[in-house]
Structure 1
Amino acid sequence: MRHVVRSGPAAALTLTLALLLLAGCSTSPASPGRWQPRPGAAWQWQLSGRVDTSVLVPVYDIDGFENGADVVKRLHADGRKVICYINVGASEDFRSDRKAFPASVTGRSDGWDGEQWLDVRRLDVLRPIMAKRMDMCRSKGFDAVEPDNLDAYANKSGFPLTAAQQLAYNRMIADLAHDRGLAVGLKNDVDQIPQLVGDFDFAVNEQCAEYDECAALTPFVTARKAVFHVEYNLPTRKFCPTAKRLGLDSMVKRLSLDAWRRPC
């Protein structure tokens, strides 16, 4: 449901409380600790274009570089929790911190223009860069982080990466987020879910239905951690019954990740 019309402060308060409950959040202002999204929280994922803040869902996932604290504040005012998208597995030549990545840690293209896989063995180089990106998310008021490209070892990155090295890097990313009071999601990396479910607060998955991998996300749901799932090429009738049975929070999006969405 989109473009909801609210009238008066009472209606606004009711919406805020409803969204907090849907997001798996306590409504008490004194609730300690970081956000813990639970299964059953509808979400919006928009990484391109001006963010449409009118979508009636309790969770938004938006680009951390492209959106300022004002957008986060506006979403918070309507009761939303907000996830900060950053790329932690590939360099991006269009980001403001692009010069921080030395050539020695950049490898092959990850398939997107201007992006190159990172050598995740180099924790000494990448940790301070990613710490600054996490600081940016925290300073803008985000509740959580979606760190993209956490599966370089399973791709043709240009580096001889191992599963163990990827696990070490992914845990470092989770620790950086947690040190700042931010929840953090495991993006894809389906094969390492059993080892990483305890380190991450939720999961973000692309196309598990298309590739017949959705059951692999069960450890997150069993641990009462949300799985935010999107498909690009399948109609809802093809995957929503299974997604609902598994407890995934699913929708169809265009690959451009603009404001359009079709939820289950």
Structure 2
Amino acid sequence: MRRPILLLVLLSLVAGCTSTAGRANPPDEPGRTLGERWQPRPGTPWQWQLSGRLDPEVDVPVYDIDGFHHDADTVAGLHRRGRKVICYLSTGAWEEFRPDAGKFPRAVLGRGNGWPGERWLDIRRTDVLEPLMAARVDMCRDKGFDAVEPDNMDGYRNRTGFPLTAADQLRYNRLIARLAHERGLAVGLKNDLDQIPELVGDFDFAVNEQCAQYGECDTLTPFVEAGKAVFHVEYEVPTDGFCPEARRLGLSSMLKKYELGAWRRAC
């Protein structure tokens, strides 16, 4: 879940590395391929932009951008600039403004998650959600993305309107990881810090918001120790308040504004 809950709706972009999944990394690329799947290394710089006009000129190897809002030409353009490109999707919450919103039955829609037009999903209903999420990941693959950033992956820790358990969340998160891997895409674990020990083997990188503000950054160490990047942002802590620790821990850290536009200040 993105925090804090009652601020702005996120929609963002992140600077990406070279071409499509499956192509071998050139020597200077901060990542590697596992078969057809890309895996970014710890410390890889990135850009996360989910709102505003996309700025493709940030000099970083990884971009994270909204999967619905950007087409294959945009992804290809970032690839030509030497970026890897991550596809932002919400997999744990329903969003009324998405083109597939009408395909979600009311029975799987729970409480609002604090963002306008969004409601938690009943992740126990994999019979309903798996084909819907598979179609979304298909979209990312077909547009040429290298990876997926699935959001709202910690519903069991929130008031969703459903009696979700930690086991339900582990099962669902592994389902999302499998859907990405079956399509040759890398996948990141978004927040869900308490389940990192169980899930670090299922995911290729992590995406975290505000671990420094909440004193949680050490919990991301298993990803770094596994040779996997942790893409991290802060919104309220100044860079001199979190960058020294981020460097020590091997995080890919930057300061962003809540709307996740083009502005960034990296460590």
TM, length-normalised to structure 2: 0.89
Query: 5+ unaligned residues in a row in structure 2: which ranges?
Result: 1-23
Task: State the structure with bigger RCO (CA 8 A, min sep 6), 1 or 2.
Answer: 2
In structure 1, what is the equivalent of residue 31 of structure 2? 24
RMSD over aligned Cα atoms:
1.5
In structure 1, what is the equivalent of residue 81 of structure 2? 78
SS for the counterpart of 2:247 is: helix
Contact kept in structure 2, 1:39 and 1:224, CA below 8 Å: yes
Q: How does 1:109-258 map to 2 (within 5 A)?
A: 109-258=112-261
TM-superposed deviation, 1:22: 4.3
Number of aligned residue pairs? 244
> Quick one: which amino acid aligns to residue 42 of structure 1?
P
More helix by share: 1
Q: Stretches of 4+ moved more than 4 A in 1?
A: 17-20
**Based on CA coordinates, which of the two structures has the bigger radius of gyration?**
1
| C-alpha separation in 2, matches of 1:94 and 1:201 | 29
| C-alpha separation in 1, matches of 2:120 and 2:27 | 36
In structure 2, what is the equivalent of residue 9 of structure 1? none
1:92 to 80, 92, 95: 95
What per-residue deviation string (whole Å, max 9, x for no partner) do you get for residues 3-31 of structure 1?
Answer: xxxxxxxxxxxxxx9997343247xxxx8
Contact kept in structure 1, 2:25 and 2:32, CA below 8 Å: no
SS for the counterpart of 2:224 is: helix
| C-alpha separation in 2, matches of 1:164 and 1:76 | 38
| C-alpha separation in 2, matches of 1:189 and 1:174 | 14
More strand by share: 2
| C-alpha separation in 2, matches of 1:207 and 1:153 | 19
Query: 5+ unaligned residues in a row in structure 1: which ranges?
Result: 1-16
Q: Verify: 1:261 aligned to 2:264, yes or no.
A: yes
| C-alpha separation in 1, matches of 2:253 and 2:69 | 24
> Quick one: which amino acid aligns to residue 74 of structure 1?
G
In structure 2, what is the equivalent of residue 64 of structure 1? 67
TM, length-normalised to structure 1: 0.90
SS for the counterpart of 2:171 is: helix
| C-alpha separation in 2, matches of 1:19 and 1:251 | 25
Q: Verify: 1:49 aligned to 2:52, yes or no.
A: yes
Kindly, what percent of the aligned residue pairs are identical?
Answer: 67
> Quick one: which amino acid aligns to residue 200 of structure 2?
V
> Quick one: which amino acid aligns to residue 79 of structure 1?
G
TM-superposed deviation, 1:49: 1.2
